[in-house]
Structure 1
Amino acid sequence: MSALTGVLYAALVAYLGGWYTGYWSGNFALLLFILTAVTMLYWLAERFHFAPARRAAADALLANDAKRREQLAAQGITQVDGNVEPARQQILQQPWWLDWTAGLFPVILVVFLLRSFLFEPFKIPSGSMVPTLLVGDLILVNKFHYGIRLPVINKKIIANHDVKRGDVMVFRYPEDPTTDFIKRVVGVPGDEVAYINQKLYINGQLAPTQPVDNFYDDSGLQRVYRPRFTEKLGEKEHQILVQPNAQHIFRPDRADGPFPFQENCRYTVEGVTCKVPAGNYFMMGDNRDNSRDSRYWGFVPDENIVGKAFLVWMNFGNLKRIGTFFD
């Protein structure tokens, strides 16, 4: 068993190393599920086989020692050398391969349950959600807000709140479902979303905006001041960045070809207009001129939803960000 455990750990290290160096993409949810299952098997084996076997061997050692002492006492020998207690403790000691598998099972199980059904951490890798979320923000995602989903396959089994316009949502990237993305929901099923001449229209109505100030955007290659606005989608306001007169050519650019329901979208020199199909959502970044989103790669299906983002719990480069709630 120790050799088998060594092989499993070597495979784990190789997998993580290839993932970290970019040789292949990883699925952390699947990895965590496998680790939970494997350590559970070791835990069950330890509880019902290995631990009882060690206790039986330790009891046999004590029984043999007591029998030997009884035989020597019958011969009149009362002073007997040897203390079997160290040997007994050594027999009872859990071997390393069980300590690093069965011993880790409770911790891995708790992490698996918390991450699968309650809250999942997520790191902001790019500036597409500036100024709401900054590069380096470590956020929490509410996994049960939109419903309970089975781990790994992400199938919803219990419904909860509906997705609303204005929600900041983490989802599996439609082009590569092994990668999680974060954007803001601007269109729900049945909506007609239009982004024309840098203005957002929902069902023909201009989304209300108000200028605020200039925001120093250092998230991209060009570090510049961009005009900041408040925008209202649904019941709550949020902030966006828009660079006036920025030149964009909106067109679908999915690497795997036309995206599902692409026929619902019209692309012109002024912008893009899309009718959101049932079971799908239209997503955009708050950094409107520096976000590759549904305007380019299409809709996000309901089965890709991970959860609703709501809290910055850490940013090692800007500690003032800690505890920031956002909508």
Structure 2
Amino acid sequence: MDFDFSAILLGLTVVFGVIWGLDRLFLYKQRKARADAAGKEVQDPVPVDWARSLFPVVLVVLLLRSFVAEPFRIPSGSMMPTLDVGDFILVNKFAYGLRMPAFNNKFVSIGEPKRGDVVVFRFPGYLCNVNGKLVRSGDQSCEHPEAPVPNANWIKRVIGLPGDRIEVHGDQLMINGQTVAADLVGPYVGDPKRDESRLMLEMGATLWTEHLQTQDGKSVDHLIARMPNFNHPPSIPSPAVPAIVPQGCYLVMGDNRYNSTDSRWWGCMPEENLAGKAFLIWLSWKGVGSGWVDFSRIGRVIH
């Protein structure tokens, strides 16, 4: 089952606020008058006392998560080596504008994603062709295109901006006719006791420094992993993914290029699905038997 924590926080804030507010408007004065007449201290009913105590706490948490920073946990290896399984990250919620909690509609525009940004977004669903029309589905095989899209947060790197021409063929990435340069760093070195690391070691993964050019001509240099012996993702363009990124959309890819389900599989990521920009690793949990916590990753800026 999928839970939208922002929606839960919003619901609790409303419930606690309504209970506390209605009591103060219609019941508190009478209760206080009776207590004063009896020479006793006024006592709130248990539900009202809980609502009064919890409302400001839940409201502050809701505001911080919705408009300042929200924590996320990395569940898979699709962003290795930049982000590892078990990394806990913070996401800047106002980098691209302020959005209503739970509903995610933008009401204040601040900025737009840049090429190379690592972004968190609500998964838009897989593209399925139904009677000549592309629809979003939660079923990757498209055997059941009516399957609902799960309410899940994903994290990838922005590769293509609206209007960009993107071509992807295996290792080769081209943006607006220019091949994106990448320099070999060396073989991947990881802990074979961890599943994702063991897979990369067995598949002979290599690390590369990729140089993405931003709109203002700067270079975003970041590590990517390649292991073509493992998988061959679809190319772009394809029948489901056009070369030109549509307006209001972004093309995103994982840094673990051969082990990432991303825009190559399900097309562009709509702007309205954006949750924010990842900027910091605040904890890295390796698990029992693998060192527990990787202190070397704590405080690492994500770029």
Q: 1:189 & 1:319 partners in 2: Cα distance? A: 38
Which of residues 60, 79, 84 is equivalent to 1:110?
60
Report the TM-score, using the length of structure 1 for normalisation.
0.74
Q: 1:249 & 1:229 partners in 2: Cα distance? A: 18
Distance 1:190-1:177 versus aligned 2 partners, 3 A rule = farther
Q: Secondary structure at the match of 1:311?
A: strand
Residues 1:250 and 2:234 aligned together? yes
User: Which segment drifts farther, 118-127 or 52-61?
Assistant: 52-61
Q: Secondary structure at the match of 1:222?
A: helix
Choose between structure 1 and 2: higher helix proportion.
1
Do 1:194 and 1:273's aligned partners in 2 also have CA atoms closer than 8 Å? no
Q: Secondary structure at the match of 1:232?
A: strand
Matches within 5 A, 1:165-314: 165-175=115-125, 176=149, 178-217=151-190, 218-220=194-196, 222-224=199-201, 226-234=205-213, 235-244=219-228, 246-248=230-232, 250=234, 265-266=237-238, 274-314=243-283
Alignment correspondent of 1:39: 16
RMSD, matched Cα: 2.2
Distance 1:219-1:185 versus aligned 2 partners, 3 A rule = farther
Q: CA deviation at 1:53?
A: 3.3
Alignment correspondent of 2:137: none
Q: Secondary structure at the match of 1:266?
A: coil
Offset from partner CA, 1:209-250 (integer Å, 9 cap, x none) = 111122235453725152111111123211100125554152
Alignment correspondent of 2:71: 121
Do 1:126 and 1:219's aligned partners in 2 also have CA atoms closer than 8 Å? no
Q: 2:10 & 2:212 partners in 1: Cα distance? A: 37
Matches within 5 A, 1:44-59: 44-59=21-36
Q: CA deviation at 1:93?
A: 3.2
Report the TM-score, using the length of structure 2 for normalisation.
0.80
Q: Secondary structure at the match of 2:53?
A: helix
Offset from partner CA, 1:6-56 (integer Å, 9 cap, x none) = xxxxxxxxxxxxxxxx3xx22222221111111101221343344433322
The one-letter code matched in structure 1 to 2:255 is D
Q: CA deviation at 1:141?
A: 0.8
Do 1:174 and 1:304's aligned partners in 2 also have CA atoms closer than 8 Å? yes
Distance 1:94-1:216 versus aligned 2 partners, 3 A rule = farther
Residues 1:154 and 2:104 aligned together? yes
Alignment correspondent of 2:92: 142
Q: 1:316 & 1:54 partners in 2: Cα distance? A: 51
Distance 1:247-1:28 versus aligned 2 partners, 3 A rule = closer
Offset from partner CA, 1:179-235 (integer Å, 9 cap, x none) = 111000000011111111312111121111111122235453725152111111123
Q: 1:238 & 1:36 partners in 2: Cα distance? A: 40
Distance 1:245-1:195 versus aligned 2 partners, 3 A rule = farther
Question: Is the radius of gyration larger for structure 1 or structure 2?
Answer: 1
Do 1:46 and 1:102's aligned partners in 2 also have CA atoms closer than 8 Å? no
Q: 1:242 & 1:302 partners in 2: Cα distance? A: 28
Distance 1:248-1:223 versus aligned 2 partners, 3 A rule = closer
What number of residue pairs does the alignment pair up? 262
Residues 1:320 and 2:265 aligned together? no
Do 2:209 and 2:224's aligned partners in 1 also have CA atoms closer than 8 Å? yes
